[in-house]
Amino acid sequence: MKRTPHLLAIQSHVIFGHAGNSAAVFPMQRVGVNVWPLNTVQFSNHTQYGQWAGEVLAPAQIPLLVEGIAAIGELGNCDAVLSGYLGSAAQGQAILAGVARIKRCNPKALYLCDPVMGHAEKGCIVAPEVSEFLLEEAAVVADIMCPNQLELDSFCGRKAQSLLDCLAMARALLARGPKVVLVKHLAYPGKPEDSFEMLLVTAEGRWHLRRPLLAFPRQPVGVGDLTSGLFLARILLGDSLVAAFEFTAAAVHEVLLETQACASYELQLVRAQDRIAHPRVRFEATPISL
Ligand SMILES: Nc1ncnc2c1ncn2[C@@H]1O[C@H](COP(=O)(O)OP(=O)(O)O)[C@@H](O)[C@H]1O
Ligand SMILES: Cc1ncc(COP(=O)(O)O)c(C=O)c1O
Ligand SMILES: [Mg+2]
């Protein structure tokens, strides 16, 4: 029987609704991965409501919790670490120490970093020193990075001028260390208005994927977290990068269709669970030749 992969997921938890681990854990479990959630914050709701209650986890807790897993002899079973929304830059440093600790037990373990940054225009609120940590430290260590366009712009210090320019920017990020860059959401002058586009870039190849842009009165939150989580889950389950990319696009689109049909602001993950596991739609990743 094939072994079920194990994944340590270090990001936010919200009690009501879906963002961070509250958007990614259940879908990753639903596709067949054992998830170990480590919550960087526990908030009542995501920050785009403009108000929330709750606390940031003390950074010193992160190594203690990782050591707790080592103490019961399970750390070597960790196949990957995912990090997302951070409550502080100190948490980021503690996560990198945890990644190094896990890689000592299991050198094959992957580290996927979703560089969640704050953006006034999106309403996502993240401590400013977190962006610096992601740019300067996390990018060097991560095996896979999954920025959205705003995050890719921050990495490169400029805005993209075209699709080929997005590709050049993703390759510049690749040069900092990661072996895989997934741009979860492209924005560039001239992009067709009815499409939602993503890019997958490695040293060997580059692929572009387009899916329909759906209309929402208020953009749902947690889509990026769902995207990163499913991409890593499918890689752990044995998909090729391109297959994981295509699966992720389809499963996320299914969730958005269900969310739109319910006229809901929060992602409808429970209702969409069978569609996540077995997407009915399919989007093809097309190779980009230089
Ligand atoms: N097919 C789609 N149609 C409309 N909006 C989408 C679609 N897919 C994703 N979105 C929205 O686009 C944005 C995606 O955010 P993105 O920049 O990829 O990453 P993040 O979720 O990490 O901010 C979110 O506001 C999400 O609700
Ligand atoms: C607590 C929390 N976690 C995570 C996120 C990231 O969500 P997304 O996947 O949309 O980037 C947000 C966005 O506002 C948030 O408030
Ligand atoms: Mg995000």
Mean pLDDT rounded to a whole number for the chain: 96
pLDDT given for residue 90 in this prediction: 95
Q: In whole angstroms, what is the distance from residue 233 CA to residue 30 CA?
A: 10
Rounded to two decimals, the pTM is: 0.97
Beta-bridge partner residues of 207: 200, 287
Q: In whole angstroms, what is the distance from residue 114 CA to residue 138 CA?
A: 10
Q: Which fold has domain 6-287?
A: UDP-N-acetylmuramoyl-L-alanine:D-glutamate ligase (3.40.1190)
Atom 9 of ligand 1, residue of closest alpha carbon: 223
Find the mean pLDDT for residues 198-216: 97
C-beta 12 within 6 A of ligand 2:
yes
pLDDT at 120 over 90: no
pLDDT given for residue 119 in this prediction: 74
Ligand 1 pocket, residues with Cβ under 6 angstroms: 148, 184-185, 196, 211, 213-214, 219-220, 223-224, 253, 256
Among residues 241, 276, 186, 236, the alpha carbon closest in space to that of 9 is found at 236
pLDDT given for residue 231 in this prediction: 98
pLDDT given for residue 22 in this prediction: 98
Cβ atoms of 5 and 237 within 8 Å: the answer is yes
Would you kindly state where each structural domain of the chain is located, as residue ranges? Answer: 6-287
Among residues 288, 226, 229, 286, the alpha carbon closest in space to that of 256 is found at 226
Among residues 30, 6, 64, 14, the alpha carbon closest in space to that of 266 is found at 14
Cβ atoms of 267 and 18 within 8 Å: the answer is yes
Q: What ipTM does this complex have?
A: 0.95
CA of 2 to the centre of ligand 3 (A): 32
Is the CA virtual torsion 18, 22, 27, 28 positive or negative? positive
- Percent of the chain's residues with pLDDT above 70: 99
Of 41, 124, 223, which is best to mutate to test ligand 2, by the most ligand atoms within 8 angstroms of its C-beta? 124
158-192: pLDDT as tens digits? 999 999 999 999 999 999 999 999 999 999 999 99
Separation of CA 223 from chain center: 9
pLDDT band for 123, please (50, 70, 90 cuts).
low
Among residues 168, 183, 193, the alpha carbon closest in space to that of 227 is found at 183
Cβ atoms of 89 and 59 within 8 Å: the answer is no
C-beta 258 within 6 A of ligand 2:
no
Of 10, 11, 12, which is best to mutate to test ligand 2, by the most ligand atoms within 8 angstroms of its C-beta? 12
Cβ atoms of 45 and 14 within 8 Å: the answer is yes
pLDDT at 43 over 90: yes
Helix axes 223-236, 241-261, angle to 10 degrees: 140
pLDDT at 155 over 70: yes
Q: In whole angstroms, what is the distance from residue 114 CA to residue 85 CA?
A: 8
5-22: pLDDT as tens digits? 999 999 999 999 999 999
pLDDT given for residue 289 in this prediction: 87
Cα Rg, the chain, nearest whole Å: 18
Instruction: Classify burial at 34, counting beta carbons within 10 Å of its beta carbon; exposed 0-12, middle 13-18, buried 19 or more.
Output: middle
Cβ atoms of 164 and 201 within 8 Å: the answer is no
